[in-house]
Structure 1
């Protein structure tokens, strides 16, 4: 049954399943969008970075091109919510570090999941995009050794993503994990760095996390996860 509660964060798969290279799509975009109209993730075959805005799912591929995903395409891992910010403030001249610290300082949400959304003009934006993988899939560390990077100045667009408490490393990325898509689709992907020239910064905390597992995926069910090295692998690939 689809979740419509705006206080619920919905996640299909876990970030940890990407570590050994479980990149097979196990939920369709059509089904995923029943659980949220905003979010981030990756696509079948670990093929690029996904950005979900206003009920539309976009795939940024290694060439930098942006495609809208169809309902039939699938994802191994994604996190979504129904956009309903608790607070929105207009900010100017903030770096990535400024924004991240400001949200933790100004709001009492360091121990819960919350969504971050910034719509505005970025004087500097740096992203990267994972490359499509072929079967048999390599692990996360191998598959992220080469990641094309994209840089643009004075670009207008939307940053979307999440903060997760340290306790949930493996379920998600502990700390901030955000993606970007410009209004003209000229740049997007996993955000490495940015400077906000001017824009609206929104925060949406969640009372619940609904974790959905790929129960029909035999590879996931049979995998013996190496938890000892998992956090290191995630930090190398995602931060």
Structure 2
């Protein structure tokens, strides 16, 4: 029986901040933990989204590529989808997205996922090209991101919310990726306007946190020297 009450996370957002981009879990092992999710590839190789059991990469050029089992990730969230209807919305903008969800009450201190499916008047996403060693920092990569603008897009948003207490382990607040139905656009969401469609919600009772304990750089890194909060804010 699929565990729909647990959010699986491999790696942490904090390890990306100083540039610990080694892939430490293979896609086939990652996919044992769910059928819906987001993440990034080794070397910060694009933005990942998993929809209906299929993992996709939006690469630095904006191409949407289906991934094979050998692809590796330094970070990702995954769960088995059991979304419940939340509400139908019209003309929602990204700036109002957080308060629209949290206004339901009782959600600020729990982990949950939001799924949007419908049409967007505009959609702005980003991705980055794969980095090579010695890896740059997350902030340096964010400054070189490639931005993609779309109009009148139909597609799916997969977003995860983590309480602020967990900022660093995850993104405190919302972390959202997009995939167009026709695969013409995707990536990490920077902005959208005019969403009309269905919103679904799935609350988790448990967080299954997997750490790359076989990676020497991770085990020996001094995170006290990193401004994790500022780096995550800049990159988001």
Bin of the TM-score, shorter chain as denominator length? over 0.9
**Cα distance between partner residues in 1 of 2:55 and 2:11:** 17
What displacement does 1:86 show? 3.0
Which structure 2 residues correspond to residues 14-163 of structure 1 after superposition, within 5 A? 14-163=12-161
Indicate which of 170, 192, 197 corresponds to 1:199: 197
**Cα distance between partner residues in 2 of 1:7 and 1:164:** 15
| Distance change >3 Å, CA 71–CA 21, structure 1 → 2 | same
**Cα distance between partner residues in 2 of 1:196 and 1:91:** 10
**Cα distance between partner residues in 2 of 1:77 and 1:35:** 14
What displacement does 1:215 show? 1.4
What displacement does 1:87 show? 3.0
Please state whether the residue corresponding to 1:32 is helix, strand or coil.
Answer: helix
**Cα distance between partner residues in 2 of 1:117 and 1:193:** 16
What displacement does 1:27 show? 0.4
**Cα distance between partner residues in 2 of 1:62 and 1:84:** 31
Q: What's the TM-score once normalised by structure 2's chain length? A: 0.96
What displacement does 1:18 show? 0.4
Q: Which residue of 2 aligns with 1:11?
A: 9
* 5+ long unaligned stretches in structure 1: none
Q: What are the superposed Cα offsets for residues 178-225 of structure 1, whole Å, 9 maximum, x if unpaired?
A: 000101111100001112442110111111111001111111111111
Higher deviation after alignment, 89-98 or 201-210: 89-98
Higher deviation after alignment, 53-62 or 221-230: 221-230
| Distance change >3 Å, CA 228–CA 59, structure 1 → 2 | closer
Asked whether the equivalents of residues 50 and 189 of structure 1 are also in contact (C-alpha less than 8 Å), the reply is: yes
**Cα distance between partner residues in 1 of 2:97 and 2:131:** 33
| Distance change >3 Å, CA 156–CA 40, structure 1 → 2 | same
Higher deviation after alignment, 35-44 or 189-198: 189-198
What displacement does 1:124 show? 1.0
Asked whether the equivalents of residues 120 and 196 of structure 1 are also in contact (C-alpha less than 8 Å), the reply is: no
Residues matched between the structures, number: 236
Please state whether the residue corresponding to 2:191 is helix, strand or coil.
Answer: strand
Please state whether the residue corresponding to 1:16 is helix, strand or coil.
Answer: helix
Asked whether the equivalents of residues 112 and 203 of structure 2 are also in contact (C-alpha less than 8 Å), the reply is: yes
